[in-house]
Amino acid sequence: MKLELMPVFWLALTLGTYIFSRWIYRRTGRYLLSPLILVPVLLLAVAVPMNTAYAEYSADTHWLMLVLGPVTVAFAVPIWQQRRLLARYWSALLLGMVAGSVASIATSFGLAKALALDSSVTMSLVPRSITTPFAMPVSSDLGGVPELTAVFVMFTGVFGAMLGGVLLKWLPLRTPLARGALFGVGAHGAGVSRAHEVGGEEGSVAGLVMVLTGLLNLFAAPLLAALL
Amino acid sequence: MKRFTRLLIELVVLLAIYLFGCQLAMWLAWPIPGGVVGLGLLLMAFASGLVKPAALQLGAGVLMAEMLLFFIPALMSLLDYGGLLRNEGWRILLVIGLSTLAVMLVTAFTVELVCRWRLRHEA
C-alpha cells in the first residue's frame, strides 16, 4: 500500500480522528460518538482492511504513550485542590477505595479463573478498574500485558459510565460522596466525566478518588503479585 | 498566543518534573514509576508553598482532559488480539461487566454507610 510508505501516516490519522471525534462529540453530546469509542472504531476501520500489525501502527505513535508520565505528575493538582475534602472525609473515602479495589481485584481474578481465561489475560484484567496511567504499570508488575489492560480499562470505562448512571437511579445513595466514589472507583476517567454531569461535588469526589485508587493499587501491586 | 506560550511552558515544567522523578527513582532504586515520584514531589512543592497550583493548572488541565489521546496507541493492540477477542471476547466482557457492577455496589455502599454512621455519631 502506498499510504503506508508515509512515515507519519498513523500518527496523522490518530490525531485527525481524535480531533474530529472530540469536535463531533461536543456538538452532538451523543455518548456513542465520544472519542473513547469513536476513535478506536475509526482507526480499526482503516487498519483492519489494510492488514496492519500493532507493531506497524505503534512505530510512529508509540511516543504518545510516554506523555502518560507527565499526566501522572499532573494528577497532583486535583489531589491538592481537593485536600480539604480529603481531610474531612478521608475515612469514608479510604474505606470505599480499599473495599472497591478488593472487590475489583477479587471478582476480576475469580471470574476470569472460573471462566478459564488464560493467565496473561487474567492478570491483564485485574487492574482494569483503575485509570490507564496506573493500570498499565500494575499490569506489567502482575505479569499481564499492559496494552491488553489498556483495552480492558477502556471497556470498563465505556460500560461503567453507563451502568453508573442506571445504578444512581436505583440505589438509595443520599450523599454526593457515595455517588462520586461509585464513578471514580468503578469507571475511572469515563466515570469522572459522567459524575461531573451528575453534580459538581460528585465530579470532584470522583476525580480525587480515581487518582487515589490508582495510587493505592500501584503501591499494593507488589503484594498483589505475591498473592495471586 | 500568550495562552499558548504559557501552556507550552507549563507542559515543559510537568515533563521536567516527570523526567526528574524517573532519574530519582533510578538513583534510589525505587520500584515506583517516575510519574508517581514526580506526583509526590509536586505535592511536596505545593505543601511547602514553593509552587502554587494555579501556576500549573492550565498545563495539568490540558494533559488530563486529553489523556485519552495518549493511550489510544495502547488500544490499537486490538489489532494483534483479534483472535483472542473472537475466542474469549464474551467471557472477557462478562468478567468486566459483573466485576464493574460489584465494584460500584461495594464502593458506593461502603462510603454511604461510613458517612451515615459518622453523621449519627457526630451529631
Q: pLDDT, tens digit, for every residue of A133-186?
A: 999 999 999 999 999 999 999 999 999 999 999 999 999 999 999 999 999 999
Domain limits for position B114: 80-123
Looking at the fold, whether B27 and B63 belong to one and the same domain comes out as yes
Report the pLDDT averaged over residues A109-124. 95
Whether B118 is in a domain gets the answer yes
pLDDT of A5 > 60? The answer is: no
Q: How confident is the model at residue A213 (pLDDT cuts 50, 70, 90)?
A: very high
- Contacts with B, A 2-31, CB within 8 Å: 14-15, 18
Q: How confident is the model at residue B67 (pLDDT cuts 50, 70, 90)?
A: confident
pLDDT of B85 > 90? The answer is: no
Looking at the fold, whether B2 and B36 belong to one and the same domain comes out as yes
pLDDT of A122 > 90? The answer is: yes
Closest-CA distance, A16 to chain B, in angstroms, reads 11
**Whole-prediction pTM value?**
0.91
Alpha-carbon torsion angle A18, A19, A21, A22, nearest 10: 110
Residues of B in contact with A35 (CB under 8 A): 68-69
Compute the mean pLDDT over every residue in chain A, rounded to the nearest whole number: 92
Q: How confident is the model at residue A4 (pLDDT cuts 50, 70, 90)?
A: low
Looking at the fold, whether B39 and B65 belong to one and the same domain comes out as yes
Instruction: Identify the residue among B8, B96, B98, B116 best suited for mutation to test binding to A, counting A beta carbons within 10 A and taking the highest.
Output: B96
- Contacts with B, A 191-210, CB within 8 Å: none
Looking at the fold, whether B57 and B4 belong to one and the same domain comes out as yes
Domain boundary (B50, B70, B90) is at B70
**Is the Cβ pair A117, B95 closer than 8 Å?**
yes
List CB contacts of A192: < 8 A, sequence separation 6 or more.
A183, A184, A203, A206, A207, A210
* pLDDT score of A143: 94
Least confident span in A182-186, B60-64, B82-86: B82-86
DSSP B108: H
Looking at the fold, whether B65 and B5 belong to one and the same domain comes out as yes
* pLDDT score of A178: 96
Chain centroid, CA A16 distance in Å: 22
Residues of A in contact with B111 (CB under 8 A): 92-93, 95-96, 175, 177-178, 181-182
Residue B44 touches chain A, beta carbons under 8 Å: no
Looking at the fold, whether B96 and B122 belong to one and the same domain comes out as yes
Whether B90 is in a domain gets the answer yes
pLDDT of B40 > 70? The answer is: yes
**Is the Cβ pair A77, B56 closer than 8 Å?**
yes
Whether B87 is in a domain gets the answer yes
pLDDT of A34 > 90? The answer is: no
Count of domains observed in chain B: 2
**Is the Cβ pair A81, B53 closer than 8 Å?**
yes
Give yes or no for a contact between B81 and A144, defined as CB atoms under 8 angstroms apart.
no
Whether B101 is in a domain gets the answer yes
Whether B60 is in a domain gets the answer yes
Whether B93 is in a domain gets the answer yes
Looking at the fold, whether B59 and B112 belong to one and the same domain comes out as no
**Is the Cβ pair A129, B80 closer than 8 Å?**
no
Looking at the fold, whether B53 and B106 belong to one and the same domain comes out as no
Whether B75 is in a domain gets the answer no
Looking at the fold, whether B4 and B63 belong to one and the same domain comes out as yes
Whether B42 is in a domain gets the answer yes
List CB contacts of B103: < 8 A, sequence separation 6 or more.
A100, A103, A104, A107, A129, A185, A186
Looking at the fold, whether B61 and B86 belong to one and the same domain comes out as no
Looking at the fold, whether B104 and B45 belong to one and the same domain comes out as no
C-alpha cell at B107: 464502593
Report the chain A residue with the minimal C-alpha distance to residue B113.
A92
Residue A16's alpha-carbon distances to A13, A47, A66, A71, A142, in angstroms, are: 5, 14, 19, 21, 34
* pLDDT score of A3: 54
Report the pLDDT averaged over residues A66-71. 92
Q: Which residue has the cell 448512571?
A: A165
**Is the Cβ pair A163, B101 closer than 8 Å?**
yes
Instruction: Identify the residue among A52, A56, A73, A136 best suited for mutation to test binding to B, counting B beta carbons within 10 A and taking the highest.
Output: A73
pLDDT of B26 > 80? The answer is: yes
Residue B115 touches chain A, beta carbons under 8 Å: yes
Looking at the fold, whether B62 and B86 belong to one and the same domain comes out as no
